[in-house]
Amino acid sequence: MKQIKLGKKYSRIDNLIFNLSEVNSIKVWRQEMSVKHYQNFITQPLIKPNTIEYRKYQINIVEKCLKGNTLVILPTGLGKTIIAAIVAAHRLLKYPNSKCIMLAPTKPLVNQHCEIFRKVLDLPSHEINAITGNIKPQNRINILNSSRAVLMTPQILENDLIAGRYDLKDISLLIFDEAHRAIGSYSYTYIAKEYMKQADHPLILGLTASPGSEREKIEEVCKNLFIHKIETRTEYSPDVRPYIHPIFLEWKTVKLPPDFLKIKKLLETLFKDKLKILKDYGYLESFDVKKISRKDLLDLKAKIQRELAEYLRPPSSLFTVSLAVAEALKISHALELLETQGITPVAEYLAKMGKEVKRPGHQKATENLLNDPRMLEIQKLVQKLEEENFEHPKILETVKIILRQIQLNKKTRVIVFTKFRNTAKKLVEELEKIDGINPVRFVGQASKESDIGLTQKEQLKILEEFKQGIYNVLVATSVAEEGLDIADCDLVVCYDAVPSAIRQIQRKGRTGRRRPGKMVVLIAEKTRDEAYFWSAKHKEKMMKQTIKELSEKFDVIETGISKPLESFMKPREEIKIYIDNRELRSQTAKHLTELGVRLVPEQLLIADYIISDRVAIERKTAEDFLQSIIDKRLFQQLANLKSNYKNPVLIIEGETIYGKKAISPEAIRGALASIILDFNIPILWAKTSSETAHLIYAIAKREQIKEKRYPSIKREKIPLSDKELQEYIVSGLPGIDLTLAKRLLKELKTVENIFTAPEEVLKKIKGIGEKTARKIREILTLPYEEESG
Bridge partners for 231 per DSSP: 72
**pLDDT grade for 563, boundaries at 50, 70 and 90:** very low
The Cα–Cα gap between 291 and 499 comes to 14
* pLDDT digits 0-9 by tens, 126-158: 999 999 877 888 889 999 999 999 999 999 999
Triad 59, 218, 542: Cα angle to 5°: 95
Rounded to the nearest angstrom, the gap between the alpha carbon of residue 69 and the centroid of all alpha carbons in its chain is 23
Average pLDDT of the chain to the nearest whole number? 84
Half-sphere exposure of 155 (CA within 13 A, CB side): 10
Query: Are the C-beta atoms of residues 770 and 452 closer than 8 Å to each other?
Result: yes
Query: Are the C-beta atoms of residues 501 and 445 closer than 8 Å to each other?
Result: no
Bridge partners for 415 per DSSP: 474, 492
Query: Are the C-beta atoms of residues 206 and 227 closer than 8 Å to each other?
Result: yes
User: What pLDDT shows up at residue 782?
Assistant: 78
What amino acid occupies position 667? A
| Mean of pLDDT values over 275-295 | 82
Q: Where are the beta strands (DSSP E) in 591-643?
A: 597-602, 609-610, 615-621
Other Cβ atoms closer than 10 A to 580: 20
- Higher-confidence residue of 390 and 554: namely 390
Angle between helices 722-731 and 738-748 (to 10 degrees): 110
With a cut of 60, say whether residue 9 has pLDDT above it: no
User: What pLDDT shows up at residue 558?
Assistant: 41
* pLDDT digits 0-9 by tens, 452-497: 778 878 888 888 899 888 999 999 988 777 766 665 788 999 999 8
User: What pLDDT shows up at residue 6?
Assistant: 34
Task: Identify the CA nearest to 196 among candidates 225, 160, 236.
Answer: 225
| Mean of pLDDT values over 388-409 | 91
With a cut of 80, say whether residue 777 has pLDDT above it: yes
The Cα–Cα gap between 23 and 13 comes to 11
User: What pLDDT shows up at residue 394?
Assistant: 93
The Cα–Cα gap between 89 and 657 comes to 52
The Cα–Cα gap between 98 and 668 comes to 55
- Residue 363: partners with Cβ closer than 8 Å, 6 or more residues away: 326, 356, 662
User: What pLDDT shows up at residue 317?
Assistant: 83
With a cut of 60, say whether residue 509 has pLDDT above it: yes
With a cut of 60, say whether residue 88 has pLDDT above it: yes
Buried b (16+ CB within 10 A) or exposed e, 637-670: bbbbbbebbebbbbbbbbebbbbbbebebeebee
Percentage of the chain modeled with pLDDT above 90: 41
Cα Rg for the chain, rounded, in angstroms? 30
Q: Which of 3-17, 42-56, 186-200, 683-697 has the lowest mean pLDDT?
A: 3-17
**Cα end-to-end span (Å), the chain:** 85
| Most confident residue range from 319-333, 662-676, 683-697 | 683-697
User: What pLDDT shows up at residue 557?
Assistant: 40
* pLDDT digits 0-9 by tens, 711-756: 988 765 555 677 877 887 888 788 787 778 888 888 888 988 888 8
3-state secondary structure of 489: coil
Bridge partners for 101 per DSSP: 150, 174
Half-sphere exposure of 296 (CA within 13 A, CB side): 15
Rounded to the nearest angstrom, the gap between the alpha carbon of residue 138 and the centroid of all alpha carbons in its chain is 26
**pLDDT grade for 542, boundaries at 50, 70 and 90:** confident
With a cut of 80, say whether residue 1 has pLDDT above it: no
With a cut of 70, say whether residue 32 has pLDDT above it: no
Percentage of the chain modeled with pLDDT above 70: 87
With a cut of 50, say whether residue 707 has pLDDT above it: yes
Task: Identify the CA nearest to 384 among candidates 237, 257, 550.
Answer: 257
DSSP strand pairing (247-254 vs 229-232)? unpaired
3-state secondary structure of 16: coil
- Higher-confidence residue of 210 and 40: namely 210
* pLDDT digits 0-9 by tens, 345-383: 899 899 988 888 887 666 788 888 889 999 999 999 999
User: What pLDDT shows up at residue 121?
Assistant: 94
**pLDDT grade for 5, boundaries at 50, 70 and 90:** very low
With a cut of 60, say whether residue 31 has pLDDT above it: no
With a cut of 70, say whether residue 11 has pLDDT above it: no
The Cα–Cα gap between 473 and 410 comes to 12
Q: Which of 107-111, 150-154, 393-397, 521-525 has the lowest mean pLDDT?
A: 107-111
With a cut of 90, say whether residue 577 has pLDDT above it: yes
DSSP strand pairing (3-5 vs 17-19)? antiparallel
The Cα–Cα gap between 41 and 89 comes to 9
Task: Classify the phi-psi angles of 306: left when phi > 0, otherwise alpha if psi is within -120 to 50, otherwise beta.
Answer: alpha
Angle between helices 80-94 and 56-65 (to 10 degrees): 50
* pLDDT digits 0-9 by tens, 415-456: 999 988 889 999 999 999 998 899 999 987 776 666 777 887
User: What pLDDT shows up at residue 757?
Assistant: 87
Q: Where are the beta strands (DSSP E) in 298-445?
A: 414-417, 439-442
The Cα–Cα gap between 60 and 239 comes to 10
| Most confident residue range from 131-145, 186-200, 510-524 | 186-200
CA distances from residue 605 to 629, 728, 732, 740 in whole angstroms, order as listed: 19, 8, 10, 18
| Mean of pLDDT values over 325-333 | 92
Q: Which of 204-208, 506-510, 568-572 has the lowest mean pLDDT?
A: 568-572
